[in-house]
């Protein structure tokens, strides 16, 4: 066993999973286990299914040579060159992640000083930090996540290149960054991770529109973002479910809100249409940096689109809205908006009481008008001629 599972056990943290390192080649691993699938282009990994779990099994990597394919920034593009156990240890990112548990004699194998760094609570890269970050820029994000998870300090040499090398995250495939961002933000230390990423300019590379909103909106936008992350962290501590959809709805809302207000003012769009268009624009832009799957981006859009519906409180509209499958997420989002300065506190209080079966009177002024809907064209039956129908319009 190797990596985070061994590191966490030694640090007194419950491991999330375990990884295996072996001298067997990927093709040999696949022959040994029926439930095995080989994944990865840059470095091939065997996913071995054991019941409901998937165990990652990797072959010992060899030392860096001139035969390794790199891009112009130094990032390794192909790494399927194999070596010994010691070679593999020296190729890993941090000393804490290069600790191996040998099941033959129940010993810890340490080639890089990871045990000593564990005792001193230090996150240290193996080798030259700038070179190691250039080989795989995602290591900059992992340094922050592991440091905050274990409450360890980053070695000064690991900190020094971060701001300079932050733009290298632009070279990472958006789908891979999605996985790394979820690990950072769907996390009990989400607020601390956000603050560190913002300080080291990593946040700007991941969420450029949100970073621009933070620059323009200052403490109000920062409070909203940190409030959303703090809510997520608290839910995780209590063992409650958390949703990437709510997370991305929160992160992009400051941008969507400003753009929707602009569309309402300058182009006269109804609020629902303005929010929908603004949401589509910003998700399209965000997907160029982080590829958010549709199963998360669509519910996030719906959370935004449901916000105007909270203003409809007369007749049977409230009862119908309470049964909407996305009501709870939209309501939680309304509470988040109210808690961080948006003028919706009265709406939030009304709907809180409505859920308890005691909705207060609706203030004077009436509900806002519904957006106009297109009427469906009815087919006209042909007159005579054996009941033939008239030709239909193509529009």
Q: Is 6 left (phi over 0), alpha (psi -120 to 50) or beta?
A: alpha
Nearest to 286 by CA among 300, 272, 273: 300
Q: In sequence order, what are the residues at sequence separation of 6 or more whose Cβ sits closer than 8 angstroms to the Cβ of residue 225? A: 194, 210, 214, 250, 251, 254
Instruction: Give CA 107 to chain center in angstroms.
Output: 36
Catalytic residue among 17, 128, 215, 280: 17
C-alpha span between 201 and 211 (Å, rounded): 9
Query: Tokens 């030694």 identify what position?
Result: 10
Catalytic residue among 8, 93, 155, 209: 93
R_g (Cα) of the chain, nearest Å: 27
Would you call 395 a catalytic residue per the annotation?
no
Would you call 215 a catalytic residue per the annotation?
no
C-alpha span between 386 and 330 (Å, rounded): 54
Q: How far is CA 333 from CA 51, 322, 368, in A?
A: 37, 15, 20
Q: Three-class SS string for 162-188?
A: HHHHHHHHHHCCHHHHHHHHHHHHCCC
Would you call 19 a catalytic residue per the annotation?
yes
C-alpha span between 280 and 276 (Å, rounded): 6
Q: Which amino acids are annotated catalytic?
A: 17, 19, 93
């Amino acid at each position: 066993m190797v990596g985070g599972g061994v590191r966490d056990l030694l640090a007194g943290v419950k491991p999330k999973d375990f990884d295996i390192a072996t001298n067997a080649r990927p093709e040999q691993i696949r022959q040994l286990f029926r439930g095995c699938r080989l994944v990865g282009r840059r470095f091939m990994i065997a996913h071995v299914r054991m019941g409901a779990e998937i165990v990652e099994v990797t072959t010992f990597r060899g030392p860096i040579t001139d035969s390794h394919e790199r891009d112009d920034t130094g990032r390794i593009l192909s790494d399927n060159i194999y070596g010994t156990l010691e070679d593999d240890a020296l190729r890993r990112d941090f000393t804490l992640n290069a600790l191996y548990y040998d099941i033959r004699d129940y010993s810890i194998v340490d080639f890089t000083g990871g045990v000593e760094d564990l005792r001193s609570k230090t996150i240290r890269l193996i080798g030259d930090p700038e070179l190691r970050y250039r080989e795989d820029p995602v290591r900059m994000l992992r340094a922050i996540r592991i440091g905050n998870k274990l409450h360890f300090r980053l070695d000064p040499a690991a900190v020094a290149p971060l701001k300079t090398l932050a733009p290298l995250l632009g070279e990472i495939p958006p789908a891979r960054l999605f996985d790394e961002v979820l690990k950072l933000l769907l996390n009990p230390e989400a607020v601390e991770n956000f603050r560190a990423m913002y300080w080291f300019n990593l946040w700007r590379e991941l969420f450029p529109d949100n970073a621009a909103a933070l620059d323009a909106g200052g403490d109000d936008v920062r409070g909203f973002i940190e409030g959303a992350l703090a809510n997520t962290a608290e839910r995780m501590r209590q063992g409650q479910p958390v949703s990437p959809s709510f997370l991305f709805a929160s992160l992009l809302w400051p941008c969507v809100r400003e753009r929707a207000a602009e569309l309402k003012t300058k182009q006269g769009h109804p609020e629902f249409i303005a929010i929908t268009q603004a949401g589509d624009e910003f998700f399209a832009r965000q997907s160029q940096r982080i590829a958010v799957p549709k199963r998360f981006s669509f519910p996030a859009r719906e959370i935004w689109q449901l916000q105007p519906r909270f203003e409809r409180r007369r007749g049977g509209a409230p009862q119908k809205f309470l049964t909407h499958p996305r009501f709870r997420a939209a309501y939680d989002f309304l509470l988040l908006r109210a808690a961080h300065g948006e003028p919706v506190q009265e709406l939030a209080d009304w709907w809180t009481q409505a859920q308890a079966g005691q909705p207060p009177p609706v203030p004077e002024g009436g509900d806002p008008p519904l957006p106009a809907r297109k009427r469906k064209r009815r087919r006209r039956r042909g007159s005579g001629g054996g009941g033939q129908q008239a030709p239909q319009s193509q529009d």
